[in-house]
Amino acid sequence: MEGKRLQSSSKEKKIKRKEVLEKKKVIDEIIKKAAALKDHLASFPPFCKYDRNGLGLSVYLESGSGDQLSSPAKTYIQKLLKVNMEGPYGSEWPSEEKVKRREMVSHEARYIFVRESPNATSIENFSKSDEEATRTGWAGDGDPLVGFVHYRFIVEEDVPVIYVYELQLESCAQGKGLGKFLMQLIELIARKNQMGAVMLTVQKSNVLAMTFYTSKLRYVISTISPSRVDPLIGAEKSYEILCKTFDSEAKARLEGTD
> Looking at the predicted structure, is the pLDDT value of residue 44 above 50?
yes
| 158-212 per-position pLDDT tens digit | 999 999 999 999 998 999 999 999 999 999 999 999 999 999 999 999 999 999 9
Q: Is residue 123 part of a domain?
A: yes
What is the rounded CA–CA span in Å between residue 48 and residue 67? 22
Higher pLDDT, 230 or 20: 230
Residue 118: pLDDT band by 50, 70, 90 thresholds? confident
Q: Is residue 169 part of a domain?
A: yes
> Looking at the predicted structure, is the pLDDT value of residue 27 above 80?
yes
Q: Is residue 8 part of a domain?
A: no
CATH number of the CATH domain containing 175: 3.40.630.30
Q: What is the pTM assigned to this prediction?
A: 0.89
Which H or E run contains 233?
A: helix 231-236
Q: Is residue 15 part of a domain?
A: no
Q: Is residue 27 part of a domain?
A: no
Domain count, the chain: 1
Q: What's the pLDDT score for residue 15?
A: 81
Helices (H), 64-108: 71-89, 93-104
Rg of the chain over Cα atoms, rounded to whole angstroms, equals 21
Q: What's the pLDDT score for residue 150?
A: 98
Q: Is residue 20 part of a domain?
A: no
Domain hosting residue 136, numbered range: 39-255
Q: Is residue 9 part of a domain?
A: no
Q: Is residue 31 part of a domain?
A: no
